[in-house]
Amino acid sequence: MESLDEIKARIEDAVPGAKIDIVPNPGPANQPSLLIDNEHAPAIAQFLRDDPALRFDFCSNVTGVDWLDRTVKKTVKVKKLIDGEEKEVTETTEEHFPGYLEAVYHLYSMTHKQGPVIIRMRTADRVAGARLPSLTSIWRSAELQEREIFDLYGIRFEGHPDLRRILMWDEFVDHPMRKDYREPDDYEYEPTPHDDVLEKAKQHYAPRPQLDGAEQITAKL
Amino acid sequence: MSEIDEALRNELQRQGVWVTSMQELYNWGRKNSIWPLQFGLACCAIEMIATAASRYDIARFGGEVFRPSPRQADLMIVAGTVTKKMAPQIVRLYNQMPDPKYVISMGACAISGGPFKQGYNVLKGIDRYIPVDVYIPGCPPRPEALLHAFMELQRKIDSQKLTGASRAEHLDPAEPSEFPVPSFGEHDLEPPANRDVFHPAKIERQS
CATH number assigned to the domain comprising residue A122? 3.30.460.80
Distance, in Å, from the CA atom of B104 to the CA atom of B150, rounded to the nearest integer, reads: 8
Per the structure, the complete domain to which residue A207 belongs is given by 186-221
- A85 within a domain of the structure (yes/no): no
pLDDT in tens, chain B (207 residues): 457 788 988 899 899 998 888 888 999 999 999 999 999 999 999 999 999 999 999 999 999 899 999 999 999 999 999 999 999 999 999 999 998 999 999 999 999 998 998 888 999 999 999 999 999 999 999 999 999 999 999 999 999 998 888 888 888 888 888 999 999 999 999 899 999 999 887 777 654
Least confident of A25-34, A58-67, B94-103, B142-151: A25-34
* CA distance, residue A83 to nearest chain B CA (Å): 57
A176 prior amide bond cis, ω within 30: no
Residues A167 and A119 in one domain: yes
Best mutation target among B118, B120, B187, B198 (most A Cβ atoms within 10 Å) is B120
pLDDT confidence bin for A215, thresholds 50/70/90: low
| Selected residues 90-119 of chain A with any CB under 8 Å from a CB in chain B | none
Provide DSSP, B96-145: HSPSS-EEEEEHHHHHH-GGGTTSSSB-S-GGGTS--SEEE-SSSPPHHH
pLDDT at A38 over 80: yes
pLDDT band at A206 (very low <50, low <70, confident <90, very high): confident
> Residues A145, A202: one domain?
no
User: What's the pLDDT at B1?
Assistant: 44
Query: Per-residue pLDDT averaged across A205-221, rounded?
Result: 68
Q: Tell me, what's the pLDDT at B184?
A: 94
Return the minimum-mean-pLDDT range out of A56-60, A206-210, B112-116: A206-210
Q: Between B121, B188, B203, which is nearest A205 by CB?
A: B203
A&B contacts, CB < 8 Å: 57
Residue B41 DSSP one-character state:
-
Judged by a CB distance cut-off of 8 A, whether residue A188 touches chain B is yes
pLDDT of residue A220: 64
Q: Does A183 touch chain B (CB under 8 A)?
A: yes
Nearest Cα of chain A lies from the Cα of B183 at a distance, in angstroms, of: 10
- Is residue A209 located within the same domain as residue A143? no
- Is A83 part of any domain? no
Q: Residues A138, A203: one domain?
A: no
| Same domain, residue pair A210 and A118 | no
- The pTM for the full model equals 0.83
- Scan residues 145-174 of B and list those with Cβ closer than 8 Å to A: none
Strands, E assignment, A83-176:
85-97, 100-109, 114-122, 131-133, 156-158
pLDDT tens for A71-89 read 888 888 888 787 778 888 8
Q: Residue A92 domain-assigned?
A: no
Amino acid at A56: F
Based on the fold, state whether residues A164 and A56 are members of the same structural domain: yes
| Residue A91, in any domain of the structure | no
Residue A160 and residue A110 share a domain: yes
Query: Rounded CA gap, B160 and B158, in Å?
Result: 6
Is the predicted pLDDT of residue A113 greater than 60, yes or no? yes
Taking alpha carbons only, the member of B172, B161, B105, B92 closest to residue B133 is B105
Residue A168 within any structural domain of the chain: yes
B 83-102 → A contacts, CB under 8 A: 84-85
Q: Are residues A221 and A147 in the same domain?
A: no
What is the pLDDT, as a whole number, of residue B172? 87
Residues A112 and A199 in one domain: no
A80 within a domain of the structure (yes/no): no
Q: Which of B152, B144, B141 is nearest to B107 (CA)?
A: B141
Report d(CA B21, CA B1) in Å as an integer: 8
Chain-chain contact of B120 with A197 (C-beta, under 8 angstroms): no
Q: Count of CB atoms within 10 A of residue A158's CB?
A: 11
Are residues A175 and A213 part of one domain?
no
Please state which of the ranges A28-42, A174-188, A200-214, B64-78 shows the lowest mean pLDDT.
A200-214
Cα A20 from Cα A87, distance rounded (Å): 44
Residue A81, domain member (yes or no):
no
CA distances from B30 to A22, B59, B145, B160, B177 (A): 70, 14, 21, 11, 18
pLDDT at A115: 80
| The dihedral formed by the CA atoms of B137, B143, B145 and B150, expressed in degrees to the nearest 10 | 110
Task: Tell me what ipTM this predicted complex has.
Answer: 0.77
Q: Is B203 in Cβ contact with A190 (below 8 Å)?
A: yes
Assess if residue A74 is contained within a domain.
Answer: no
Same domain, A108 and A20: yes
Taking a C-beta distance cutoff of 8 angstroms, is the pair A102, A65 a contact? yes
Q: Are residues A50 and A148 in the same domain?
A: yes
Q: Helix B22-31 crosses helix B143-158 at what angle (to 10 degrees)? A: 160
Q: How many domains does chain A have?
A: 2
